[in-house]
Structure 1
Amino acid sequence: MDMPNDLMREETRRKVSENHDWSKLCPDLLRSILESLSSIDFHRTKTVCSDWYSIWKTCVKRPLCPWRIIYVKDSLMLFNPGEDKIYEGTNVGLSKDSYYMASSGNWLLMVDSHLGFYIFNLLTYKRIDLPSMESSIRGGKVRFERSMGQWGHFVEPCRKDNVSKNFIICQRLAVLWIDERAGDYVVAWIYDNHYLFSCKKGDDSWWNLNDHWNMGSLNLSFLDLAYRNSKLYLYTTNGHIKIVDFSGNDPIEVIEKNPYWEHPFRCLLKEGDYICKKKMAIQKSGDVLIIMSIFSLSKEKLLFYIFKLNLESNIWERVESIGDDEMLIFGHGVTIKAPVQDVGDGIKSGSIYFATVDSRPVYDCTVSSCGVFDLATSITKWPKKDSFNNRFVITQWFVPGFA
């Protein structure tokens, strides 16, 4: 008995589907498909398999355009200014009581009210839980205790400090680095300028780096931190910069090849200029930048000054540019390859992207907007108002695809 035509066609489609390896599509065809996708789907496709990732790398490169994360009461949205498009429902897997700390490419470092840290991929929704702060902390002399009705406290032999949500959320002194292909990651964060913790892939507990190098005896506190090329940079309250190498099994301080330790950052400001915040960023070249957000009374506006150590004179000098193809997000910790031409909202090379919550000293994390500061003109552009601006909690820049 012959099989009906429609059943034959269905059986043929089923066999083709079963026998065809979709990772082995014709490269030209696959490349054409990938390049036609929306930005968010375009970045997702590189995680499908190694063959798709290889083709993805050969696609027409889209500029690393900063997006905005929009936090609303019960959800999170992404706004791509290049497409003028909002992506909703991107918080599947995020804990309701968790807060943003840092980002690396498509990944966010989040913390909840139990001081539980995890890494979350905004595009694939993958989540990586980090060791509990309540477990044994390597380096000793400090432990975390959770308490009812508040976040908890750090306990030392002669000291007990309450963990404040204000310090955690408003200061956001943390860095995240992750290799999307290998899955390796490094996380470091500072609490109350005094406690310094880190962990990397494979660790089952956090490092207490203060006592690891006996820094408590040096009476060092920290203003900021940054991470690039397996090195953690720590900017201390007395202007010095420490460098820690994370390429081995355990973090090791770099001493002989650290040109910044003997030359602390100092600067004199004009009368009427007041420092809001100081941040550090590492360029592709490995040079360290100190970025200060300044409120100028004479000009009645927010400014950003950038300083770089002249390695010949050993003097910190103010620079007017960070390069023809670099930009930076204030507090992100590294410079990023930028589109040279303006793609809208002032997004181009030679710009600093900031959130108002990161450029003012007051602890108000309930309202925030984003701006773009052009270093060449000292002009700030405020992205156009969107329908979500009346109901957002806070906004933050991030750069999908950056690694």
Structure 2
Amino acid sequence: MWSQASEQMQLPDLYSKLFWNCIFNDTTDCLLYNPHEKDIIYIRAAPSRLLASCGKWLLMIDSQSRLYVIDVFSGNKIDLPPLESLKSNDSFLKRMEDKDKEFEWEFSEGYVYLLHTDEIRARLWIDEKAEEIALVWFFDSPACFLGFYKKGNAHYDLIPITYDIARILTGMLCLILRGYCLYILTMRRFVRVIDFSMKQGFEEVTGIDPDPYSPIFPPLRYHCHFSIAVTTLGEVLFVTSTKNNEMAFRIYKMDPNAEPDDHMPDLLDVDSLGDEALLLDLGITVPANYTLGIKPNSIYFTHHNLIHSKKVWNKVDHVLPPYDVDICVFNLSTKTLEPFPAPSNMTLKDARLIFS
């Protein structure tokens, strides 16, 4: 079966066709909030932490460091393999005895990393029509590997990002999961692409040993936050944001006419996304859909200004002031920002835009 039924929560049909905010307050309650109607629907209070979202599905980790995904509208739940099922030829992940949140990552050579699940980050992809699920997770410190899962597996495949790979592929500034394709912006600003569509393992689409002079994104000339995004056609975009008095976004792509020997081509401004919108939390573009309320040539985001703040990421129990949890849509045509107001008198820890 596609999902394992748990407690059910039926919403009116109209609700599942609109953008909602899935928000978490300082008591770990999970709530659905409609910013237009000001409706709040309580879902559950559970000792779990949100790792990622896709559509109406949330990827969570509970107090015993078990991963699961849950449909916030129906309550359907899918339990995932244990973290220690990570598959590797030269290392293994071991849960510490009597410690639910601590693991050891031990190598055959004998050296060991001590890891804590409060530092796990993740990305999620779910296609309900095809009944497919994929996700990646990693420890923020040290970020030495990724664990990948797709439907049907009883384990996670290990993807190295530090050891045993070409130098240009090492490190990870940000990553996007779209279907069974994983896009990683490496420390040298090269876009690494990994394909998981085969039955077993994965394929390095960028090549096992790419040309060290392959095109890379040039360094930025000013201070800002940045990430990559992938369009419906598979084109990689470079997205920057600045926040002074107001938040502003710019989108770039590599010059397709750059000379073959130009390993750092100029970036071209992308003035319009056309009939698509960018869901920045997922790092993907989707077709505009007025039924869902998805406006064309717009950027939807909830916490973009916090993505690269290590101080906030590592303090997972830190309570963020309401003004630090952005829930907004940015119109690229008018360069204007439309905030989705948070519920009054509520201190937020996290938020996601969800829809079905």
Q: CA separation in 2, counterparts of 1:339 and 1:69?
A: 20
Distance 1:136 1:306, change over 3 A: closer
Q: CA separation in 2, counterparts of 1:137 and 1:342?
A: 40
Distance 1:259 1:310, change over 3 A: farther
- Quick check: 2:161–2:171 contact (8 Å CA) kept in 1? no
Distance 1:302 1:136, change over 3 A: closer
Q: What's the counterpart of residue 325 of structure 2?
A: 369
Q: CA separation in 2, counterparts of 1:156 and 1:292?
A: 37
Shift of 1:309: 2.0
Shift of 1:205: 1.0
Which letter does structure 1 place at the counterpart of 2:256?
L
Q: CA separation in 2, counterparts of 1:152 and 1:230?
A: 29
1:183 matched to 2:122: no
Q: 121-130 vs 187-196, which deviates more?
A: 187-196
Shift of 1:190: 2.7
1:254 matched to 2:166: no
TM-score (norm 2): 0.78
Q: CA separation in 1, counterparts of 2:147 and 2:166?
A: 13
Shift of 1:320: 4.0
Shift of 1:339: 4.3
1:161 matched to 2:116: no
1:234 matched to 2:180: no
* Structure of larger gyration radius: 1
SS at match of 1:274: coil
Shift of 1:199: 1.0
Structure 1: runs of 5 or more not aligned: 1-35, 44-61
Task: Render the CA deviation track for 1:65-115: whole Å, top value 9, x for unaligned.
Answer: 53211113152111233x514242333xx8x22211211221111123443
Shift of 1:321: 3.5
- Quick check: 1:320–1:376 contact (8 Å CA) kept in 2? no
Shift of 1:395: 3.6
Task: Render the CA deviation track for 1:323-370: whole Å, top value 9, x for unaligned.
Answer: 222222323121122347996xxx732222233463562533521422
Considering fraction of residues, name the structure with more helix.
Answer: 1
TM-score (norm 1): 0.69
Which letter does structure 1 place at the counterpart of 2:206?
I
Which letter does structure 1 place at the counterpart of 2:331?
D
1:312 matched to 2:262: no
Q: What's the counterpart of residue 12 of structure 1?
A: none
Distance 1:139 1:111, change over 3 A: farther
Q: What's the counterpart of residue 282 of structure 1?
A: 230
Distance 1:37 1:268, change over 3 A: closer
1:124 matched to 2:71: no
- Quick check: 1:106–1:400 contact (8 Å CA) kept in 2? yes
Q: Which residue, 380, 387, 391 being the options, matches 2:337?
A: 380
* Alignment RMSD: 3.4
- Quick check: 1:116–1:132 contact (8 Å CA) kept in 2? yes
Q: What's the counterpart of residue 300 of structure 2?
A: 353
Q: CA separation in 1, counterparts of 2:50 and 2:266?
A: 32
Distance 1:267 1:385, change over 3 A: same
Distance 1:391 1:385, change over 3 A: closer
Distance 1:376 1:217, change over 3 A: closer
Task: Render the CA deviation track for 1:284-330: whole Å, top value 9, x for unaligned.
Answer: 111111222334xxx54433232212322263524343522222232
Which letter does structure 1 place at the counterpart of 2:39?
I
Q: 319-328 vs 213-222, which deviates more?
A: 213-222
Q: CA separation in 2, counterparts of 1:325 and 1:198?
A: 32
- Quick check: 1:154–1:162 contact (8 Å CA) kept in 2? yes
SS at match of 2:87: coil
Query: What are the within-5 Å matches in structure 2 for residues 139-154 of structure 1?
Result: 139-146=89-96, 148=98, 151-154=101-104
Query: What are the within-5 Å matches in structure 2 for residues 26-105 of structure 1?
Result: 37-40=12-15, 43=16, 65-72=18-25, 73-81=27-35, 83-91=36-44, 96-105=46-55
Distance 1:322 1:202, change over 3 A: farther
Task: Render the CA deviation track for 1:122-153: whole Å, top value 9, x for unaligned.
Answer: 11211111110123523441314336567213
Considering fraction of residues, name the structure with more strand.
Answer: 2
Structure 2: runs of 5 or more not aligned: 1-10, 260-264, 313-317
Q: CA separation in 2, counterparts of 1:142 and 1:342?
A: 44
Shift of 1:249: 0.8
Q: 145-154 vs 130-139, which deviates more?
A: 145-154
